[in-house]
Amino acid sequence: MPKLSDFLDPRAAGLARSSALALSEHVEARREAGEPISKLTLGQSPFPVPERMVAALRDAAGAKDYAPTQGLPALRKAVAEHVEKRLDIDRTADDVVIGPGSKELLFLLQLVFQGDLVVPTPTWGSCVPQATLLGRRVLSIQAKPEDGFLLRPAMLEQALASEPPRPRLLVLNYPGNPTGLTYRPDELRELAQIAQRHELLVLSDEVYGELHHKGQHASVARYYPEGTIVSTGLSKWVGAGGWRLGCFVFPDQLRPILEAVVSVASETFSSTSMPIQRAAIVAFEGGEDIERYLFQVRRVLSALGRFTARRLQSYGVRCAQPTGGFYVFADFGPAIAQSMGTVYEGSAALCARLLHDTRVALVPGVAFGRPREELSARLAYVDFDGARALAAVGVIPKEQPVDETFLRRHCAPTVDAVERLGQWLDSRRR
C-alpha cells in the first residue's frame, strides 16, 4: 500500500484551509462553547436579506429542475441591466454567467486562462491559493501602508514592464477586502490605461460595489470595457453569502473566454440552484425597497467604519477610514513600537496574543499576502445584530448622522471589541 500522501496531488497537499474561514469556524466553535469572543474575522454581512428576496425564495422552493448552465435568462437580463445602469457600460444577458458564488467563477476563470495572475497585496485570501493550485505564476505587487494599501499606477506599470509581455490576468478588488478602500474614477482611468497598453485581462471584483458608503461606486470597466470582466453576486450587498450566487459579466470581445468558463461549469457544477436564481432576480431588478435597504445599510457601515478607524488611530494604530464594505486593515506596527515588552514575530503571533489577552479575533495580515513580519490585521466590523441595527437606523431622519450613541447601543459587540484592543495597547504603554 503506498503512503496516503502519495494519493494526494502535491499542490492540494500543500494547500491550507482559507485562513479567514478556518479562523472563523474555530472562533464560532469556542463561542458556542461559551467563550465570550468578539468575532471580527468573517467577512459576512450582519444584515438580513431583504424581505422581498426571502419571499421570492420561499415561493420558488418547489422549483426543482436543473437551471441552464450559464444561468436563468431572466436573471442574466436583470444582472446585465443592473450593471449597465450602475456602472455605465453596455452589456446584455448573453454576456452574463451565473455560478454558485463569485469565488467558484474566479476559480473557473483561472482554470481556463493560460497566463500569470497579477495581484496587488493585501489581497482577498482565495485569489492566490486558487492560482497556486492551478500551477499558475503569481506576480504580487506589494502595496504600501502609506498609500493606504491601494495599487498606485506607477507600481503597476513598473511591475508589468519588468517582465516580457505574456498573457496576464489582473485581479482588482474595490471596495477592497481587506482594505475597505476604493479607487476614485481618475485613478481607475489611469489603471485602465496601463492595463489596456499591456493588454491585460482584468477581473474587476466588485462584490462590495453596492456597499460603497456613499453609493458612488465606479468601475474600471467604464475605462477599459473590452478587457474587463466584472464580478458581483449576492454575498455582500444583500447579505446572502450562504445562498451562494455570483455573477461574471463579460464584454463581447471576450466571448471565447465566457464560452470556456461555461463549458467547464457544465462539466463541474452543472448549474446554480434554481430557487436562489429566482430570488436573485429581485435583487438585481431592484426597486424602492432594495434602495431603502441599501441606504440604511450604508449609513450604519459608514458610521461604524469611521468610528473603528478613528478609535484605532487614537491608540497609534495606522489605518485608513474605510469608504466601502465592512473592513478596516490595520497596521499595529507603529502602536506596538511605542509599547513595552514582548516583540511579536509577525501578524499571526500578534493576532494569537490579541485573541488570548483581549478575546478579540482578527485575521492576520499574512493571510492577505502581506510580509510575515508586518504587524497588520483585518477587522471585519460586523459583530452585531444587523436586523436590530437596521430597524433602529430606519427611524432616524435621513439627514441626521448616525452617531456614537447609536453605535454603542446597536453595534455594541464591535464597539466593545475595538475599545478592548485600545485598552490593551494603552496598558502596554505604561
Q: Which of 174, 139, 76, 126 is nearest to 363 (CA)?
A: 126
Distance CA(296)–CA(394), nearest Å, equals: 7
Q: What angle do CA 297, 298, 301 make, to 5 degrees?
A: 85
Side-chain-side CA neighbours of 416 within 13 Å: the count stands at: 14
**Size of the residue set binding ligand PLP (CB under 6 A):** 13
**Using rule CB under 6 A, residue 182 touches ligand PLP:** no
If the CB atoms of residues 247 and 411 are measured against ligand PLP, the closer one turns out to be 247
* Least separation in angstroms between CB 12 and ligand PLP: 20
Q: Which stretch binds ligand PLP (CB under 6 A): 32-40, 95-103, 277-285, 418-426?
A: 95-103
Distance CA(217)–CA(29), nearest Å, equals: 36
Q: Which of 246, 305, 333, 386 binds ligand PLP (CB under 6 A)?
A: 246
DSSP lists the bridge partners of residue 97 as 248
The residues, ordered by sequence, that sit 6+ positions from 255 with a Cβ below 8 Å of its Cβ are none
If the CB atoms of residues 211 and 330 are measured against ligand PLP, the closer one turns out to be 211
Distance CA(23)–CA(362), nearest Å, equals: 9
How large is the C-alpha radius of gyration of the chain? 21
Alpha helix ranges (H) inside 88-152: 102-112, 127-133
Contact map string, positions 160 to 179, toward ligand PLP, x by CB under 6 A: -------------x---x--
* Least separation in angstroms between CB 96 and ligand PLP: 14
If the CB atoms of residues 101 and 225 are measured against ligand PLP, the closer one turns out to be 101
3-class SS of residue 239 = coil
Alpha helix ranges (H) inside 178-287: 185-197, 255-267, 274-285
If the CB atoms of residues 103 and 217 are measured against ligand PLP, the closer one turns out to be 103
**Using rule CB under 6 A, residue 207 touches ligand PLP:** yes
Q: Which of 82, 86, 103, 278 binds ligand PLP (CB under 6 A)?
A: 103
Contact 79, 96 (CB under 8 A): yes
**Using rule CB under 6 A, residue 273 touches ligand PLP:** no
**Using rule CB under 6 A, residue 102 touches ligand PLP:** yes
Return the residue nearest ligand PLP (CB atom).
Answer: 101
* Least separation in angstroms between CB 208 and ligand PLP: 7
* Least separation in angstroms between CB 325 and ligand PLP: 8
**Using rule CB under 6 A, residue 324 touches ligand PLP:** no
* Least separation in angstroms between CB 210 and ligand PLP: 13
Backbone angles phi, psi at 127, to 5 degrees: -60, -50
Site for ligand PLP in 119-138 (CB under 6 A): 124
Q: What angle do CA 37, 38, 41 make, to 5 degrees?
A: 115
How far is CA 99 from each of CA 25, 94, 358, rounded to the nearest angstrom?
24, 14, 39
Contact 168, 198 (CB under 8 A): yes
Q: Which of 41, 43, 296, 355 binds ligand PLP (CB under 6 A)?
A: 43
* Least separation in angstroms between CB 103 and ligand PLP: 3
If the CB atoms of residues 71 and 233 are measured against ligand PLP, the closer one turns out to be 233
**Using rule CB under 6 A, residue 235 touches ligand PLP:** yes
Q: Which of 205, 210, 374, 383 binds ligand PLP (CB under 6 A)?
A: 205
> Which residues of this protein are in contact with ligand PLP, per CB under 6 A?
43, 101-103, 124, 173, 177, 205, 207, 233, 235, 241, 246
